[in-house]
Amino acid sequence: MRALGNRLQTVAEMLRTYTPFRCVADIGSDHAYLAVYVMKEGIASLSVSSDINEGPLERGQATAEKYGVRPHFVLSDGFDKLGDFDFDGACICGMGGELIADILRRYGPHPGCRFFLQPMTAQDDLRKFLWENGYEITEERYTTERGKPYGVLCAVYTGENTLYEYSDLFLGKFRPDTKEFASYKAKVHSQAFKRKSGLTACGLDTAEVDALLKCSE
């Protein structure tokens, strides 16, 4: 089938690590490439593609017909209308970290599900929500697409909160020695430098940002 972009390919490779799944939910799935891929590749027996708008679902249905698989398509705000599906994997990709956190907050704890999360922005807000609300981040992988670095998180609900340092919010606890992570770290460093300049201008404490700058050198 059509090759996935680097972001979704990284998500798919993480999913493959935990195969097989009974059902994978793809939240905000746009063209449903991931929902189609997991069925086409045998990663899941079934997938469900959801979106808050009709247009992406129509595009997704066209993708499914093209590749000869039959995911379910549901008009839903996050997980709101997916109560009939017994999924043990869920992907939320291509959104801001704050929105992903809000979707998970509204969904509530589901210990039997593994979540694959790819935030476009505000990775720190997402990690903070996960660690302070009983989720364990079990893995992070990094990739680049069109010259921009991205992280992909795998998380499970355990009910136990995780202690973290300020720098962990931006760099995660998994820091591989790869060119992809180096690119991601450079982006974090640049943003932290700008943050320090703003704090300094306001006469505010910069100790946490200084520590992040050192970790991201």
pLDDT for 4 equals: 85
pLDDT band at 67 (very low <50, low <70, confident <90, very high): very high
Counts of helices then strands in the chain (DSSP H, E): 8, 7
pLDDT tens digits, 76-118: 999 999 988 999 999 999 999 999 999 999 999 999 899 999 9
Q: In what order do the strands lie in the sheet with 44-51?
A: 72-75, 44-51, 21-27, 89-95, 114-119, 148-157, 135-145
Residue 25 has pLDDT above 90, yes or no: yes
pLDDT surpasses 70 at 69:
yes
Residues 28 and 199: their CA atoms lie apart, in Å, by 36
**Beta-carbon neighbour count of residue 147 at 10 Å?**
6
pLDDT number for residue 2: 60
pLDDT exceeds 90 at position 30: no
Domains and CATH numbers, the chain: 6-164 (3.40.50.150), 166-217 (no CATH)
Mean of the pLDDT values across residues 190-214? 95
> What is the separation of C-alpha 36 from the centre of its chain, rounded to a whole number of angstroms?
18
Q: Higher confidence at residue 85 or residue 29?
A: 85
Once rounded to an integer, what is the mean pLDDT over residues 8-28?
Answer: 95
